[in-house]
Amino acid sequence: MKNKLRILFLCTGNSCRSQMAEGFARNLKSDVLEVFSAGIEAQELNPMAVQVMREAGVDIAGQWSKTVEELNNREFDYVITVCDNASENCPYFPAGIRIIHRGFDDPPVLARNAGSFEGELDCYRRVRDEIKAFIEELPDCLKGNHTE
């Protein structure tokens, strides 16, 4: 049996986008991927992210925000940064780990001018759906797409 690819989804605060990616990957790709998420810093899990993920049938309420350091030096095949800040400030990873940037808009920033609670949720839903589409393409979309 082939080993699962070990993937870390990295974001600034590990509160929203990386948590969504981890949730979808666990839900849709657990047969081929072992996934984790972390942030450059730890922030509280975003309740709106939890809500829109629940709407999509994925419960991330039991996940928690953590930093890379809290992952106890786990080894990864890929680190996927899901926001520009994490890409620009990506911590050092040992040689051989492939680092890929696949940025997604920041739902809290998008939601600032939404005008209503439902409008705010729609911002989160759009990013959620983009993340899901990306996860559905894993691991095939990783081939030949990395920097070291």
Integer-rounded Cα radius of gyration of the chain: 15
| 123 labelled catalytic | no
| 141 labelled catalytic | no
| 83 labelled catalytic | yes
Catalytic residue among 11, 16, 123, 141: 11
**DSSP per-residue letters across 64-132:** ---BGGGGTT---SEEEE-SHHHHHTPPP--TT-EEEE-----HHHHHTT-SSHHHHHHHHHHHHHHHH
Task: Please give the positions annotated as active site.
Answer: 11, 83, 90
